[in-house]
Amino acid sequence: MAKQRPKNLNLFTIQFPLPAIISILHRISGVALFLFIPLVLGALKLSLSSAQDFDDLHLFLSSPLMKLLIWGFLSAFIYHFFAGIRHLLMDVHVGDELKSGQLFAKLTMVISIVFILLAGIWIW
Amino acid sequence: MVKSVLGVNHQGLTDWLIQRVSAVIMMLYSVGLFAYLIMHPGLDYAEWHALFSSKCMKLATLLFILSLLFHSWIGMWTVFTDYIKSFLLRLVLQVFLLLSLIVFFFAALWILWGV
């Protein structure tokens, strides 16, 4: 009887639900932010050393490639920020049921995307 | 009972609490800093330097850095224990992580001290 149970081991037909995607992206963005720590500390040091260094740094960070890197950093930050708020809300049992969980997962995604786009506009 | 410094016998509740308290501290600081940056579009060196010269800002930044280091330790530790199966590799990564965090802390102190 036990052998008759349906099995599905085809990974291509198994989809992560949105809350699971939100969760794994929270981890990935967290690791990315950790890797950015030395770069941000270096930039902070230069920006506070002298007016010359401040202007040099400003010029260096104005190149399109560096702007893209800053946008990447801000995107990871914004995403981690809002996904973190979702965690804090779930700690007080807001959005930890099936329906509300899916709603809050969607909200996290939408709000993050809006702020990531705004950050892009702010940089360029 | 042997206690590991690398957190094998961690108290889960303490980690949970530290992760949340540090998150709230970093949220307040970063929202404040972003608000400042948005309100000062043509920020120059003099203004920026003056901001970090104030005792309040130095204290807030130090608190942010401390929160960041504890938050990173718990976050990265969790990621390592979840995905790195080899004990030796995990040990090496965790020691490297701990050393990096110590270096970041002293670098931050040195930067703030120099302002």
Band (A2; pLDDT cuts 50, 70, 90): low
Percent of chain B residues topping a pLDDT of 70: 90
Mind listing the pLDDT tens digit for each residue in B66-92?
999 999 999 999 999 999 999 999 999
Q: Which residue of A has its CA nearest to B104?
A: A38
For the domain made up of A18-123, give the CATH fold.
3 helical TM bundles of succinate and fumarate reductases (1.20.1300)
Q: Which of B27, B49, B104 sits opposite A37 (nearest CB)?
A: B104
Number of H helices, E strands in chain A: 4, 0
Contact: B104, A49; criterion CB under 8 Å: no
Mind listing the pLDDT tens digit for each residue in B38-71?
999 889 999 999 999 999 999 999 999 999 999 9
- pLDDT of B42 reads 87
Interface check A92 vs B, CB under 8 A:
no
CATH class of the domain comprising B12-114: mainly alpha
Contact: A48, B114; criterion CB under 8 Å: yes
Q: Which residue of A has its CA nearest to B52?
A: A48
E strand segments, B1-115: none
Question: ∠ CA(B72), CA(B73), CA(B78), 5° rounding?
Answer: 95
Count Cβ–Cβ pairs < 8 Å, chain A vs chain B: 53
**3 state DSSP class of B36:** helix
